[in-house]
A and B are shown apart, each in its own frame.
Chain A
Amino acid sequence: MKEKIKKNFYRKLNLYRKIVQIFSLAFLAVVPLLVINGVYSLIGSMYSYTLFGIDIVDPAMAIQSILLSREFTEVLLIGLIVPVLLALIFGKVFCSWMCPFNTLSEYWQKITGKIFKKRFRKSNPAVESNPKPLYYWLILIALFVLSVIVGFPLITFLSAPGIISSEISHIFMGMGFGLEMILILSIIFVEGLLFKRYWCKFVCPVGGVLSLFRFKKTLKVVRNEELCNCSGSVKPCSYSCPLALSPLRKNLYPFCYNCGECVKICEKTGKGALTFSFGTEGANSINDVSYSHKEEKEILVEE
């Protein structure tokens, strides 16, 4: 009974995620449409929003701006509160729930996955290990150092959600279409064909900065080894991961954006070895699940 509730929970969580993704895509168009009609309570792009007087600034942009200008502005610091708190509690959920780049590439990957079925299975690295976090941090640091040396906001040009959202705003406000949007769309297109997500996994400074805000109790995917017993070379969890990571292996941390696809599939096909958890592994929920499994076995034996 308890397991059934949990099953529904993760499936529902993923449903909510998809709804939020669609809504945040639509939101990008809603903002300029409202602005055209003279409503100025929602303004901005994914670089920085002002929603009913509350400022939200992308932490990557804020850090870049502070590094380049060596000055703090009030709006900038207030704007950091919401995204930093969100990242501290739930991890990089901005990427998995809101980022338009991720939404577009996830859906495009699903389409290409259906078209090139064989290749998809072949290139999905169920056996490969996760990339090393060192590269991730090195690229992130290099980008910031470079932008400080050149004295030029490089990070802004590499923020895919920012570019997509501001280009959508440009289109609705009659400012036309820029080359930068075509570049971002072609990145999505090529990555979908190759089944690799290099941008999100290595380049994107937005996700990189968000993954800096983390402490012991940040939400993460947790694995209970006792329950993990899928056989075969293709594991459902790594197969379902949009970033092609393997939750079974280490170095999940800076890359995983807590989308919950692996948790969902584990509940569905496996025994619920993967769960979301605040803090470390010995969470109650995992014990509950294992207990119910034991009960089931006992019942089977009795029969």
Chain B
Amino acid sequence: MLGVLKRVIEFFNGKKPLRPPGALPEEEFLKRCIKCNKCAQVCPYFSIRMAHAEWGRSMGTPMIFARDIPCYVCMKCPPVCPTGALQNHVVEKENVKMGIAKINEEKCFPYSGIICRACFENCPVFREAIILEDELLPKVVEEKCIGCGICEKVCPVEGSAIIVESREEVIV
């Protein structure tokens, strides 16, 4: 039944959420999160949204929809978590691993000859997570990518040519 619900949700909003920076692996995260809202309230960009009942087991847990508002890795949320669902010691953005950006080369402008450096220039791990091959084609360095979703947000292609895949799929 939950599987059906999940498909319905995916059909309607077509978004795959990320967990906030410093989140534990999904199962462990769900066990710990007490839905206190502090991470969402402390977020200055309103990136973190709390899930409602339609998310099933993940109801009330924090989520980030990168295409709406990505995480700007200000790292204010991990220290406020009372249960350590967001590991309190993660305070440097380089240690974050929310997901990995994937470039859809069919859609991406530079791959079809149009100059565009939106994702490269906005990446918070500048010149490390997204590099330009031949000073033109963006490439994601998976070890360095933190999965904040800023590239997904700034991509001018409709539906975004670069999409951050969550490290682990959110359990519904």
Contact = CB atoms under 8 A, between A and B. Distances in A.
Given A40-B42, A43-B41, A173-B46, A75 B31 contact: no
B34 A176 contact: no
B91 interface: no
Interface string B39-59: 011101010011011100101
Interface string A138-170: 000000000000011100110000110110011
Interface stretch (A45-53, A90-98, A209-217, A232-240): A45-53
Contact of A180 (B60, B83, B84, B88): B60
Contacts of B35: 45, 47, 156, 162, 166
B51 to A, nearest CB: 8
Given A152-B57, A178-B59, A65 B36 contact: no
Interface residues of B, number: 30
A99 B49 CA distance: 25
B41 A79 contact: no
Contacts of A65: 31-32, 34, 83
Contacts of A64: 34
Given A35-B41, A180-B59, A156 B34 contact: yes
Given A57-B82, A73-B83, A166-B50, A44 B41 contact: yes
B37 interface: yes
A49 to B, nearest CB: 8
A249 B44 CA distance: 54
A133 B140 CA distance: 61
Contacts of A272: none
Contacts of A55: 82
Contacts, number: 118
B31 A68 contact: yes
Contact of A175 (B27, B36, B49, B80): B49
B31 A153 contact: yes
Interface in B12-71: 27-28, 30-38, 40-42, 44, 46, 49-50, 52-54, 57, 59-60
Contacts of A32: 41
A43 B42 contact: yes
Interface residues of A, number: 44
A61 interface: yes
A44 B49 contact: no
A163 B52 CA distance: 11
Interface of A: 31-32, 35, 38, 40, 43-45, 47-50, 55, 57-58, 61, 64-65, 68-69, 71, 73, 75-76, 79, 151-153, 156-157, 162-163, 165-166, 169-170, 173-180
For the complex of A and B, the 9 pairs showing the least CB-CB separation, nearest first, are: A178-B52, A179-B53, A48-B36, A47-B36, A68-B31, A73-B84, A35-B41, A61-B34, A45-B37
